[in-house]
Structure 1
Amino acid sequence: MLTDDELAGICDLFGALTREELAWARSELAFRQDEETGPNERIDEAIDAYALVEHEGLILAGPAAFPTLPEGAGDLPHILDVPEREVDREAAGEAVLDSLRAEDDPALAREVSYDVEAWAPVDASGVRDGEQERL
Protein backbone atom coordinates (compact mmCIF):
# COMPACT_ATOMS: atom_id res chain seq x y z
CA MET A 1 0.00 0.00 0.00
CA LEU A 2 1.31 3.44 -0.92
CA THR A 3 2.33 5.90 1.78
CA ASP A 4 0.99 9.45 2.00
CA ASP A 5 4.27 10.76 0.60
CA GLU A 6 4.11 8.30 -2.31
CA LEU A 7 0.54 9.36 -3.11
CA ALA A 8 1.76 12.97 -3.03
CA GLY A 9 4.67 12.05 -5.29
CA ILE A 10 2.31 10.60 -7.88
CA CYS A 11 0.20 13.77 -7.85
CA ASP A 12 3.30 15.95 -7.98
CA LEU A 13 4.52 14.06 -11.05
CA PHE A 14 1.58 15.53 -12.97
CA GLY A 15 1.06 18.73 -10.99
CA ALA A 16 -2.37 17.48 -9.92
CA LEU A 17 -4.73 14.61 -10.69
CA THR A 18 -8.44 14.02 -10.48
CA ARG A 19 -9.56 11.46 -7.92
CA GLU A 20 -10.23 9.00 -10.76
CA GLU A 21 -6.79 9.53 -12.28
CA LEU A 22 -5.11 8.98 -8.91
CA ALA A 23 -7.10 5.79 -8.43
CA TRP A 24 -6.00 4.66 -11.92
CA ALA A 25 -2.36 5.43 -11.09
CA ARG A 26 -2.62 3.46 -7.83
CA SER A 27 -4.13 0.53 -9.71
CA GLU A 28 -1.39 0.57 -12.36
CA LEU A 29 1.36 0.65 -9.74
CA ALA A 30 -0.22 -2.14 -7.70
CA PHE A 31 -0.49 -4.30 -10.81
CA ARG A 32 3.15 -3.68 -11.74
CA GLN A 33 4.29 -4.48 -8.19
CA ASP A 34 1.98 -7.50 -7.89
CA GLU A 35 0.35 -5.98 -4.80
CA GLU A 36 -3.11 -4.99 -3.69
CA THR A 37 -4.20 -1.44 -4.48
CA GLY A 38 -5.43 -0.89 -0.95
CA PRO A 39 -8.65 0.77 0.11
CA ASN A 40 -9.92 3.87 -1.69
CA GLU A 41 -10.09 5.51 1.72
CA ARG A 42 -6.29 5.89 1.54
CA ILE A 43 -6.78 9.01 -0.56
CA ASP A 44 -9.14 10.50 2.04
CA GLU A 45 -6.74 9.56 4.85
CA ALA A 46 -3.91 11.38 3.06
CA ILE A 47 -6.18 14.41 2.58
CA ASP A 48 -7.08 14.35 6.29
CA ALA A 49 -3.35 14.35 7.11
CA TYR A 50 -2.77 17.29 4.70
CA ALA A 51 -0.37 15.16 2.64
CA LEU A 52 -2.82 15.65 -0.22
CA VAL A 53 -5.09 18.61 -0.90
CA GLU A 54 -8.30 18.43 -2.91
CA HIS A 55 -8.93 21.74 -4.63
CA GLU A 56 -11.28 22.56 -7.50
CA GLY A 57 -11.75 18.91 -8.43
CA LEU A 58 -8.04 18.14 -8.44
CA ILE A 59 -5.80 16.44 -5.89
CA LEU A 60 -2.29 17.74 -5.40
CA ALA A 61 0.61 17.14 -3.06
CA GLY A 62 -0.20 18.91 0.18
CA PRO A 63 1.79 20.99 2.64
CA ALA A 64 2.48 18.09 5.05
CA ALA A 65 3.91 15.82 2.34
CA PHE A 66 7.43 15.02 1.30
CA PRO A 67 6.54 13.83 -2.21
CA THR A 68 8.33 10.60 -3.05
CA LEU A 69 7.95 8.59 -6.22
CA PRO A 70 7.12 4.95 -5.54
CA GLU A 71 8.86 2.24 -7.53
CA GLY A 72 7.64 2.23 -11.12
CA ALA A 73 5.99 5.67 -10.93
CA GLY A 74 8.35 7.06 -13.56
CA ASP A 75 6.41 5.07 -16.15
CA LEU A 76 3.04 6.60 -15.21
CA PRO A 77 3.25 9.55 -17.65
CA HIS A 78 3.59 6.98 -20.45
CA ILE A 79 0.70 4.87 -19.14
CA LEU A 80 -1.84 7.50 -18.11
CA ASP A 81 -3.20 9.90 -20.69
CA VAL A 82 -3.13 12.84 -18.28
CA PRO A 83 -1.88 16.35 -19.00
CA GLU A 84 0.48 18.18 -16.65
CA ARG A 85 -1.48 20.67 -14.59
CA GLU A 86 -0.75 23.79 -12.61
CA VAL A 87 -2.86 24.79 -9.64
CA ASP A 88 -3.15 28.28 -8.20
CA ARG A 89 -1.06 27.73 -5.06
CA GLU A 90 -2.42 30.82 -3.30
CA ALA A 91 -6.05 29.74 -3.81
CA ALA A 92 -5.19 26.19 -2.72
CA GLY A 93 -3.38 27.59 0.32
CA GLU A 94 -6.42 29.65 1.29
CA ALA A 95 -8.56 26.50 1.02
CA VAL A 96 -6.12 24.68 3.30
CA LEU A 97 -6.30 27.56 5.80
CA ASP A 98 -10.11 27.25 5.81
CA SER A 99 -9.73 23.53 6.56
CA LEU A 100 -7.20 24.21 9.31
CA ARG A 101 -9.51 26.74 10.96
CA ALA A 102 -12.21 24.07 11.08
CA GLU A 103 -9.82 21.27 12.11
CA ASP A 104 -10.93 19.23 15.15
CA ASP A 105 -7.31 18.67 16.17
CA PRO A 106 -5.76 22.03 17.15
CA ALA A 107 -2.27 20.48 17.46
CA LEU A 108 -2.46 19.18 13.89
CA ALA A 109 -3.75 22.55 12.67
CA ARG A 110 -0.88 24.35 14.38
CA GLU A 111 1.72 21.92 13.02
CA VAL A 112 0.42 22.12 9.45
CA SER A 113 0.12 25.92 9.66
CA TYR A 114 3.92 26.17 9.45
CA ASP A 115 4.02 23.78 6.50
CA VAL A 116 1.31 25.61 4.57
CA GLU A 117 3.24 28.89 4.72
CA ALA A 118 6.21 27.22 3.04
CA TRP A 119 3.88 25.49 0.57
CA ALA A 120 1.78 28.48 -0.53
CA PRO A 121 2.00 32.27 -0.32
CA VAL A 122 -0.42 32.56 2.63
CA ASP A 123 -0.27 33.76 6.24
CA ALA A 124 -1.26 31.02 8.66
CA SER A 125 -0.46 32.93 11.85
CA GLY A 126 -4.17 33.15 12.67
CA VAL A 127 -4.35 29.37 12.86
CA ARG A 128 -1.33 29.29 15.18
CA ASP A 129 -2.86 32.03 17.32
CA GLY A 130 -5.92 29.86 17.88
CA GLU A 131 -8.36 31.56 15.55
CA GLN A 132 -10.09 28.23 14.91
CA GLU A 133 -13.68 28.22 13.76
CA ARG A 134 -15.83 25.36 14.95
CA LEU A 135 -18.36 24.41 12.33
Structure 2
Amino acid sequence: MRVSEDELAGVVELFGGLTRDELYEALSELAYREGEELDGADAGETLDSAISSYHLVEYESDAAEKPLLVAGPRAFPEQPPHSEDLPHIMDVEPRDVDREALGEAVRETLDDEATAALAGGDTDRMRELVDVSYDLEAWAPVDCTGIRNRLDARL
Protein backbone atom coordinates (compact mmCIF):
# COMPACT_ATOMS: atom_id res chain seq x y z
CA MET A 1 0.00 0.00 0.00
CA ARG A 2 1.31 3.41 -0.97
CA VAL A 3 0.28 6.66 0.67
CA SER A 4 1.08 10.23 -0.26
CA GLU A 5 2.62 12.85 1.97
CA ASP A 6 -0.77 14.55 2.24
CA GLU A 7 -2.39 11.25 3.21
CA LEU A 8 0.19 10.82 5.98
CA ALA A 9 -0.78 14.31 7.16
CA GLY A 10 -4.44 13.32 7.04
CA VAL A 11 -3.83 10.28 9.23
CA VAL A 12 -1.90 12.18 11.90
CA GLU A 13 -4.46 14.99 11.82
CA LEU A 14 -7.18 12.53 12.87
CA PHE A 15 -5.48 12.33 16.27
CA GLY A 16 -3.82 15.74 16.48
CA GLY A 17 -0.47 13.97 16.29
CA LEU A 18 1.00 10.47 16.29
CA THR A 19 4.36 8.99 17.18
CA ARG A 20 6.21 7.20 14.38
CA ASP A 21 5.21 3.83 15.83
CA GLU A 22 1.58 4.87 16.02
CA LEU A 23 1.66 6.15 12.45
CA TYR A 24 3.10 2.85 11.21
CA GLU A 25 0.39 1.01 13.18
CA ALA A 26 -2.27 3.20 11.53
CA LEU A 27 -0.80 2.57 8.09
CA SER A 28 -0.70 -1.18 8.76
CA GLU A 29 -4.38 -1.07 9.71
CA LEU A 30 -5.22 0.81 6.52
CA ALA A 31 -3.24 -1.64 4.40
CA TYR A 32 -5.02 -4.57 6.06
CA ARG A 33 -8.40 -3.00 5.28
CA GLU A 34 -7.32 -2.71 1.64
CA GLY A 35 -6.26 -6.37 1.60
CA GLU A 36 -2.63 -5.38 1.23
CA GLU A 37 0.50 -5.34 3.32
CA LEU A 38 2.39 -2.27 4.36
CA ASP A 39 5.76 -1.94 2.69
CA GLY A 40 7.76 -0.59 5.62
CA ALA A 41 10.64 0.62 3.48
CA ASP A 42 8.33 2.51 1.12
CA ALA A 43 6.37 3.97 4.04
CA GLY A 44 9.64 5.02 5.68
CA GLU A 45 10.80 6.79 2.52
CA THR A 46 7.49 8.60 2.20
CA LEU A 47 7.64 9.57 5.88
CA ASP A 48 11.19 10.95 5.50
CA SER A 49 10.12 12.85 2.39
CA ALA A 50 7.06 14.24 4.19
CA ILE A 51 9.25 15.55 7.01
CA SER A 52 11.83 17.01 4.62
CA SER A 53 9.11 18.78 2.63
CA TYR A 54 7.31 20.05 5.76
CA HIS A 55 4.15 18.04 5.08
CA LEU A 56 4.80 16.56 8.52
CA VAL A 57 6.73 18.11 11.36
CA GLU A 58 8.07 16.53 14.53
CA TYR A 59 6.94 18.02 17.80
CA GLU A 60 8.31 17.38 21.29
CA SER A 61 5.30 17.29 23.59
CA ASP A 62 4.90 16.75 27.32
CA ALA A 63 1.79 14.72 26.46
CA ALA A 64 3.80 11.99 24.70
CA GLU A 65 7.01 10.18 25.60
CA LYS A 66 8.22 10.26 22.00
CA PRO A 67 8.09 13.11 19.47
CA LEU A 68 4.76 13.50 17.70
CA LEU A 69 4.34 13.82 13.97
CA VAL A 70 1.91 16.63 13.17
CA ALA A 71 0.49 17.86 9.86
CA GLY A 72 2.89 20.59 8.76
CA PRO A 73 2.67 23.93 6.97
CA ARG A 74 2.97 22.46 3.45
CA ALA A 75 0.34 19.77 3.96
CA PHE A 76 -3.08 19.58 2.39
CA PRO A 77 -4.26 16.69 4.56
CA GLU A 78 -6.22 13.97 2.75
CA GLN A 79 -7.99 11.05 4.36
CA PRO A 80 -6.92 7.76 2.77
CA PRO A 81 -9.63 5.11 2.31
CA HIS A 82 -10.87 3.60 5.59
CA SER A 83 -9.07 6.18 7.73
CA GLU A 84 -12.34 7.20 9.36
CA ASP A 85 -12.18 3.86 11.22
CA LEU A 86 -8.75 4.50 12.76
CA PRO A 87 -9.93 6.43 15.85
CA HIS A 88 -12.16 3.44 16.70
CA ILE A 89 -9.46 0.83 16.06
CA MET A 90 -6.39 2.41 17.63
CA ASP A 91 -5.91 2.97 21.33
CA VAL A 92 -4.77 6.57 20.92
CA GLU A 93 -6.49 9.51 22.54
CA PRO A 94 -6.77 12.75 20.55
CA ARG A 95 -3.92 15.13 21.27
CA ASP A 96 -3.88 18.90 21.48
CA VAL A 97 -0.87 20.71 20.11
CA ASP A 98 0.29 24.12 21.28
CA ARG A 99 0.33 25.85 17.90
CA GLU A 100 2.55 28.70 19.10
CA ALA A 101 5.20 26.36 20.56
CA LEU A 102 4.97 24.10 17.51
CA GLY A 103 5.33 27.06 15.15
CA GLU A 104 8.42 28.28 17.00
CA ALA A 105 9.98 24.80 16.94
CA VAL A 106 9.36 24.52 13.18
CA ARG A 107 10.78 28.03 12.65
CA GLU A 108 13.97 26.93 14.45
CA THR A 109 14.19 23.83 12.25
CA LEU A 110 13.68 25.98 9.17
CA ASP A 111 16.44 28.32 10.34
CA ASP A 112 18.82 25.36 10.80
CA GLU A 113 17.97 24.00 7.37
CA ALA A 114 18.42 27.43 5.79
CA THR A 115 21.88 27.67 7.38
CA ALA A 116 22.78 24.25 5.99
CA ALA A 117 21.47 25.08 2.50
CA LEU A 118 23.40 28.36 2.51
CA ALA A 119 26.60 26.64 3.67
CA GLY A 120 26.23 23.98 1.00
CA GLY A 121 25.23 26.40 -1.75
CA ASP A 122 22.09 24.33 -2.45
CA THR A 123 20.01 26.88 -4.38
CA ASP A 124 17.17 24.44 -5.07
CA ARG A 125 16.75 23.81 -1.34
CA MET A 126 17.06 27.54 -0.65
CA ARG A 127 14.18 28.26 -3.03
CA GLU A 128 12.10 25.51 -1.44
CA LEU A 129 12.79 26.89 2.04
CA VAL A 130 11.74 30.40 0.97
CA ASP A 131 8.38 28.90 -0.04
CA VAL A 132 8.19 27.00 3.25
CA SER A 133 8.82 30.24 5.15
CA TYR A 134 5.69 31.82 3.65
CA ASP A 135 3.63 28.70 4.36
CA LEU A 136 4.92 28.58 7.92
CA GLU A 137 3.89 32.18 8.60
CA ALA A 138 0.37 31.42 7.37
CA TRP A 139 0.25 28.20 9.43
CA ALA A 140 1.55 29.44 12.79
CA PRO A 141 2.10 32.76 14.55
CA VAL A 142 5.79 33.13 13.65
CA ASP A 143 7.88 35.59 11.66
CA CYS A 144 10.31 34.13 9.12
CA THR A 145 11.42 37.42 7.55
CA GLY A 146 15.02 37.08 8.77
CA ILE A 147 15.34 33.55 7.41
CA ARG A 148 13.80 34.55 4.10
CA ASN A 149 16.08 37.59 3.78
CA ARG A 150 19.18 35.45 4.35
CA LEU A 151 18.04 32.99 1.67
CA ASP A 152 16.92 35.65 -0.79
CA ALA A 153 20.30 37.40 -0.51
CA ARG A 154 21.96 34.29 -2.00
CA LEU A 155 19.39 33.55 -4.70
Q: TM-score, normalised by structure 1?
A: 0.91
Task: Give deviations 1:77-115, integer Å, cap 9, x for gaps.
Answer: 011010000111111111111121222221111001111
Aligned-partner SS, 1:129: helix
Whole-Å separation in 2 of the counterparts to 1:87 and 1:42? 23
Whole-Å separation in 2 of the counterparts to 1:18 and 1:108? 26
Task: Give deviations 1:6-42, integer Å, cap 9, x for gaps.
Answer: 0000011110111111010011111111234232232
* Structure 1 residue aligned with 2:127: 107
* Structure 1 residue aligned with 2:63: none
* Structure 2 residue aligned with 1:50: 54
Whole-Å separation in 2 of the counterparts to 1:117 and 1:72? 32
* Residue 79 (str. 1) matches residue 89 (str. 2): yes
* Residue 34 (str. 1) matches residue 38 (str. 2): no
Q: Conserved in 1, the CA contact under 8 Å of 2:73 and 2:132?
A: yes
* Structure 2 residue aligned with 1:130: 150
Q: Which runs of 5+ in 2 are unaligned?
A: 61-66, 118-124
Q: Conserved in 2, the CA contact under 8 Å of 1:19 and 1:58?
A: yes
Amino acid at match of 2:90: L
Aligned length: 132
RMSD, aligned α-carbons:
1.5
Aligned-partner SS, 1:92: helix
Whole-Å separation in 2 of the counterparts to 1:71 and 1:127? 38
Aligned-partner SS, 2:31: helix
Q: Conserved in 2, the CA contact under 8 Å of 1:53 and 1:96?
A: yes
Q: TM-score, normalised by structure 2?
A: 0.80
Whole-Å separation in 1 of the counterparts to 2:88 and 2:127? 41
Q: Conserved in 1, the CA contact under 8 Å of 2:57 and 2:71?
A: yes
- How many Å apart are 1:131 and its aligned residue? 6.1
Q: Which runs of 5+ in 1 are unaligned?
A: none
Of 137, 140, 145, the residue aligned with 1:117 is: 137
Aligned-partner SS, 2:14: helix
Structure of larger gyration radius: 2
Whole-Å separation in 1 of the counterparts to 2:108 and 2:37? 34
Post-superposition, which runs of at least 4 consecutive aligned residues in structure 1 deviate over 3 A?
Answer: none
Sequence identity, in percent?
53
